[in-house]
Amino acid sequence: MQQQTPSPIAEWVARKLGAGIARLFYKVETHGAESLPEGGFLLLPNHLTWVDAIILQLACPRPIRFIVWEEIYKQRRLQPFFRLIGTFPISDKHAKDSIRAAAQLIESGEVVCIFPEGELSRSGTLNRLKRGYEIIARQAKCPVVPVWMDQLWGSIFSYRGGKYFWKWPRKIRYPVTVAFGEPLTAKAADIATVRQRFLDLGEFCYSRRPFLKGHLAEACVRGLKKNPADVAVVDGMDGRTITRSELLAAGLGLSRWVRGNVPEQRVAIVIPPGRGAVIANLAVLLAGKVPVNLNFTAGRAALEASIRKAGVRFCFTAGVVRGKLKDFPWPDRVGLLEEIIPLVRAKMIEWGILSKILPARWLSRLAGIPREGDRAEAFLLFTSGSSGEPKGVALTHRNLLANTNQFGEMLDLGRDDVILGALPFFHSFGATVCLLFPLVESVKLVSYPNPLETSKCAELIAKYGATLLLATPTFLRGYMKRAEPEQLRSLRLVVTGAEKLPDELADAFRARFGIEIMQGYGLTETSPAASFNLPTLSDTEQPTNRRSSCGKLVPGLSAQIRDPESGAQLSLHEKGMLHFKGANVFDGYLGDPERTAEVITDGWFRTGDLARFDEDGFLIIEGRQSRFSKIGGEIVPHETVEAHIVTALGLTAEGERVVAITGVPDEAKGEALVLLSTRDFEMQELRSRLTAAGVTNLWIPKRLQRVEKIPILASGKLDIQGCKLLAEGRGS
């Protein structure tokens, strides 16, 4: 293909004029430009908007020759500009000519740019990288420079909101961060390595977003000031509602009482999800203190350990709750919400008037909320203790501001959306998505205290038109048994996490309700959301969800796959130990530097899960390290064995969980598999069916143990420790 050379003067004028106009609308911050090679090289950026090329040229100190697809190049309105700046087309028919022309330009010292995704992202996530760039790089024998453009998702030129252009700009002089990565050799720049660099650069850019230094309480004030007349919370127990302005006034009024009567920095809260729990948590935050929602379903020993580690001396609760929790180890002082609220009613009225008059920033200053929270502790959660004593996870303002934003960018919920929040606030997903996210992002919350009461939850979904349901696979089985299809008709999104979603449950749920479950992944230590599958987009072939995967990573979160034993970094496409780095990743366990050092190295958090990524960037969790057995030197994943058993025996997805695999010590092979089951069947029959299905002998359980119920935690997760105790004959 013959490449047309533009007039140097005309090109200079066009670039200067274009840059001048672009700077009126965009404020570009650049990193890493000083490390760009001096000669020719190939530039690989992510692709989110129609103005990516302009932004990139603003950031790059040298002129860039862009390669664009022929159908775009031939658009009559754009072609004169493309020719003026020396852009050239590429197509399947003339691919060799375009590759040769690009290689020649690089060899002559030019900077050539190709968007490796080949198309604009419709979901805001990184698409599959196409291999054409590899051919150009190897033919030119040139350096390859990945570059990441951050914050452009949401601009009027992106597809956020389901459309380009026809939306109001969020800000004039829209802020954009552009980060150039270290050059790779042509040989090293394979698909997995370039994707790894994109993730690292994305994390680098996101971690510098200014809002992360803010204070969570001020973010709640700003969020509640939006649409103040809208209902903020519907209490599913009694149907009572509270508007956003009323909630803000109640929180501010009660926060004055907290400041004056609770000298400790951490305040315990023992209230099930509902209007009262939301007010109590908001008040503690607005008072500049740290909410500690205690897991009142845990055993006394676990609760005593949590209270001791947190150092709490005061606890908010309700009289009815205190009356039911007979064996609860209450702290020194207990405040009943129904007794304290009347004492601060006048203050609530005063703050209600002020909140209507003052802008959010002034109101925050008057309330004594600091401008910055950043890495200070904002929320204290305790892990569920699925494999041992609870660990204190101190989440910072930065962590929670990041994760509420990441969740919002991924799911793009609006004012008309309604979340059914039945997950407890002592659960990380409940705290972030069912409590903080609705406050910060102005989304209506319908709360209910018990996710196991799925018949009542289904009634609430139908009554209030809930559009988003958050649950675990364990809870979804309850909907299969107790909910009618018409009750869930308003749902447009069902997100599940905490444990692996079995394929048979996903199929049965879709067949009954016509809803595709979107599996996600997260941990308390990641605040918690780390990845999601997203609903299929109707007008594009870009994959947004993948069966048996946990979706794509949230914005600003980077990942590495490492060898579980040596710690050596592997390709993203290889199976190994999953590590995370990002603004939503916690800084360490409360008062436990040894455990912190075990899981955090150089800012990278070791999740304890074995995983890999496919070429489209979908995260595939192979299982928890604690849910593997090493038998005869071979790693045997418990979840995979469970899936084989469910398939072999034709077990249904309805009702409660019916099987669980655990490992016990074995003198001959190190460990042996024990199958816990609530169903009666012959072990010989199971062995025969698993063998016929091609399951290796090492993966077949050595022993079957009949149990009345599989141990499940209040969070919906499998109780790993409880299963092990049952298998060892020490459980009940």
Alpha-carbon distances, residue 185 vs 69, 104, 141, 182, 507 (angstroms): 25, 17, 8, 10, 45
Q: What is the DSSP letter of 717?
A: S
Cα 96 from Cα 158, distance rounded (Å): 31
Mean pLDDT of 416-440: 91
Mean pLDDT of 90-113: 82
Strands 619-624 and 468-471 turn out to be unpaired
Q: pLDDT tens across 116-167, in order?
A: 988 888 888 899 998 888 988 998 899 999 999 998 887 777 877 777 766 6
Burial state string for 178-196 with b = 16 or more CB within 10 A and e = fewer than 16: bbbbebbebeebbbbebbb
Query: Has residue 580 been placed in a domain?
Result: no
User: How many angstroms separate the CA atoms of 346 and 201, rounded?
Assistant: 51
For residue 528, whether the previous peptide bond is cis, meaning omega lies within 30 degrees of 0, is: yes
What local confidence, expressed as pLDDT, does residue 626 receive?
61
Q: Classify residue 187: in a domain, yes or no.
A: yes
Average pLDDT rounded to a whole number, residues 357-380: 93
What pLDDT does residue 314 have? 96
Q: Which of 607, 606, 628 is nearest to 720 (CA)?
A: 628
Last residue in a domain, options 181, 208, 235: 208
**The pLDDT value given to residue 543:** 87
**Contact call for residues 304 and 218 (beta carbons, < 8 A):** no
Decide: 369 and 222 in contact? Cβ < 8 Å.
no
**CATH number, position 161:** 3.40.1130.10
For 575-592, write each residue's pLDDT tens digit: 899 999 999 999 999 988
Residue 541 covered by a domain = no
Q: Is residue 700 part of a domain?
A: yes
Beta bridge partners of 258: none
| Final residue before a domain boundary, out of 208, 225, 242 | 208
Report if residue 572 sits inside a domain.
Answer: no
Average pLDDT over residues 282-307: 91
DSSP 3-state of 671: strand
Q: How many domains does the chain have?
A: 2
pTM of the model: 0.85
- What would the pLDDT profile of 327-344 be if each residue is shown by its tens digit? 899 998 999 999 999 999
CB atoms within 10 A of CB 574: 14
Q: Which domain holds residue 722?
A: 632-727
333 vs 284: CA distance, rounded Å: 16
CB atoms closer than 10 angstroms to residue 77: 6
Largest CA distance in the chain: 84
CATH number of the domain enclosing 654: 3.30.300.30
More reliable by pLDDT, 146 or 305: 146
Q: For position 632, what pLDDT does the model report? A: 58
Which residues lie below 8 Å from residue 625, measured CB to CB, with a gap of 6+? 564, 577, 608, 609, 610
Which phi and psi (to 5°) does residue 266 adopt? -105, 140
Q: Residue 695 falls within a domain, yes or no?
A: yes
Please report, for residues 128, 284, 524, 528, 618, the alpha-carbon distance to residue 309 in angstroms, rounded to integers and kept in the order given: 45, 19, 17, 21, 37
Question: d(Cα 524, Cα 386) in Å, to the nearest integer?
Answer: 12
Interval 412-437 mean pLDDT: 90
CA–CA separation, 592 and 389 (whole Å)? 13
Q: Which helix (H) or strand (E) holds 217?
A: helix 216-225
- 466 Cβ neighbours under 8 A, 6+ residues apart: 418, 419, 420, 446, 460, 490, 491
- Work out the burial of residue 683: count CB atoms within 10 Å of its CB; fewer than 13 is exposed, 13-18 middle, 19 or more buried: middle
**Mean of pLDDT values over 501-526:** 89
332 forms beta bridges with none
The encoded tokens of residue 141 equal 């024998």
Residue 386: the pLDDT is 46
Percent share of the chain, pLDDT over 70 = 89
CB 56 within 8 A of CB 147: yes
* pLDDT the model gives residue 365: 93
For the cut 90, the answer to whether the pLDDT of residue 252 exceeds it is yes
- CA nearest 191: which of 613, 621, 620? 613
Given a contact cutoff of 8 angstroms between Cβ atoms, the answer to whether 194 and 186 are in contact is: no
Is the distance from CB of 520 to CB of 497 less than 8 angstroms? yes
Whether residue 434 is contained in a domain is answered as no
111: which 2 tokens?
Answer: 């900077």
Query: Residue 22 falls within a domain, yes or no?
Result: yes
Instruction: Please state, in angstroms and as integers, the Cα–Cα distance from residue 195 to each residue in 519, 629, 635, following that order.
Output: 22, 31, 28
Paired tokens of 48: 């989110």
Provide the mean pLDDT of the chain: 86
Q: Which of 590, 538, 539, 580 is closest to 556 using CA atoms?
A: 580
661 SS3 class: strand
Q: Report the alpha-carbon distance of residue 40 to residue 659 in Å, rounded.
A: 60
Model pLDDT, residue 475: 86
Strand partners, 582: 557
Select from 179, 208, 237 the last residue of a domain: 208
Tell whether the model's pLDDT for residue 399 goes beyond 70.
yes
